[in-house]
Amino acid sequence: MERLQKILSQAGIASRRASEKLMLEGRVTVNGITVRELGTKAEPSSDDIRVDGRRIKLPERHRYLLLNKPRGYVTTRSDPEKRPTVIDLLGGIREYVYPVGRLDFDSEGLLLLTNDGDLAARLTHPSHGVARVYEARVLGVPDAHDLDRLARGVTIDGRRTGPAEVHVVPGRQEGRATLRIAIREGRNRQVRKMLESIGHPVDHLTRVAIGPIRDRHLKPGRWRELTEAEVASLKKAASHEQKLHHGGHGDNKGPIRPEKRAQRTEGQHRNKGPHSHDGRNGHGTHERREGHRATQAQSGGRGGQLESGRGGQVQQHGQIRQARQAGRDRQDGRGSRPPQRETSQGRGQRRQNKKR
């Protein structure tokens, strides 16, 4: 028994995430019953599993195709606008294969198509960090600052991109430059939007590598089967998980080396200020520690007991506030020690002074 979305993925119907969407839309049935609950299990060898009324079966063999997609084709199996799709370029393929990842209408280059759902899921998930390498011809010539911004990550569509590897390809045309960019995400039109964000829009974009797979001799519009060695290397690349640094709305400075992490941590402890998470009302950890000691002194140390009941709680809160204020005064230079509780002898002396 296996999860239904995994069975659909293995059958080459769609990726696991897309299969879950099919289930939620009520398009999947098992033995005549519509299944909408994710995680439902089935037996592919004996259960009647259908998508849109069409019975599925697991492929007898997996196909791994490498296509050099030309411009003007949509990376999908079918297009509601009736534009040409990459499937139209695959003559003689009877298996239900589908493209792995995106390559937009105006871009060209290498594209994988397969009916191996498990491999497709690993290749498209960013946790496995399989790099896609692009060569982008851009308007203008980016300077070192622009390249550094791309490498660290830029904000597109309200989210920060992960770290990228960026190099300038030798040889320039007038007013243009060619960059080689390696990314490990698959967001919509990501490379184009990254370059637009630094003021150098893309004039021409080509994908030249998918993980270890490259082929500069494959002509646009042509495809070939991957060799066994290429499939093995692709599976090996997709089997390694790595942690990527996605900054979201914050700063994305890429991986931090151990020595840098130590310096940053030391600096954070040294520079605690009004906006630090460890401060309270604009004062740091030292104030709280001193306030806690003052509270202990007033309550008779760790073993001292405050009054019980509601009156005791009020007294305790008052002492805590007083102790915190003492800490603030000490940091501001207005006090040298916590206020001490007045004794009966002290009160008598104060009354005698008033009478005089």
Question: pLDDT higher for 120 or 270?
Answer: 120
Query: CA–CA separation, 161 vs 174, rounded Å?
Result: 30
**pTM of the complete model:** 0.61
Domain 60-255, CATH: 3.30.2350.10
Per-residue pLDDT of 253-268, as tens digits, reads: 333 333 343 444 444 4
Q: What's the whole-number mean pLDDT along residues 148-153?
A: 96
Q: How confident is the model at residue 53 (pLDDT cuts 50, 70, 90)?
A: very high
Distances (CA, A) of 41 to 30, 44, 266, 270: 10, 9, 51, 55
Per-residue pLDDT of 257-298, as tens digits, reads: 333 434 444 444 444 443 433 433 444 444 444 444 444 444
CATH class of 2-55: alpha beta
Query: CA–CA separation, 70 vs 340, rounded Å?
Result: 83
Q: Which of 67-76, 296-305, 331-340 has the lowest mean pLDDT?
A: 296-305
Q: How confident is the model at residue 2 (pLDDT cuts 50, 70, 90)?
A: confident
Triad 96, 106, 150: Cα angle to 5°: 105
Question: pLDDT higher for 94 or 214?
Answer: 214
Q: What's the whole-number mean pLDDT along residues 104-112?
A: 96
Q: How confident is the model at residue 96 (pLDDT cuts 50, 70, 90)?
A: confident
Q: Which of 74-78, 107-111, 188-192, 320-324 has the lowest mean pLDDT?
A: 320-324
Would you list the domain boundaries of the chain?
2-55, 60-255, 285-342
Asked if residue 193 has pLDDT above 90, the reply is: yes
Residue with token string 């599925």: 56
Query: CA–CA separation, 69 vs 223, rounded Å?
Result: 9
- Residue 248: its H or E element: none
Query: CA–CA separation, 97 vs 17, rounded Å?
Result: 16
pLDDT value for 52:
93
**b/e sequence 310-327, b meaning 16+ C-beta within 10 Å:** eeeeeeeeebbeebbbbb
Q: Any bridge partners for residue 54, and if so which?
A: 51
Active site residue ranges: 104
pLDDT value for 110:
98
pLDDT value for 278:
40
Q: How confident is the model at residue 14 (pLDDT cuts 50, 70, 90)?
A: confident
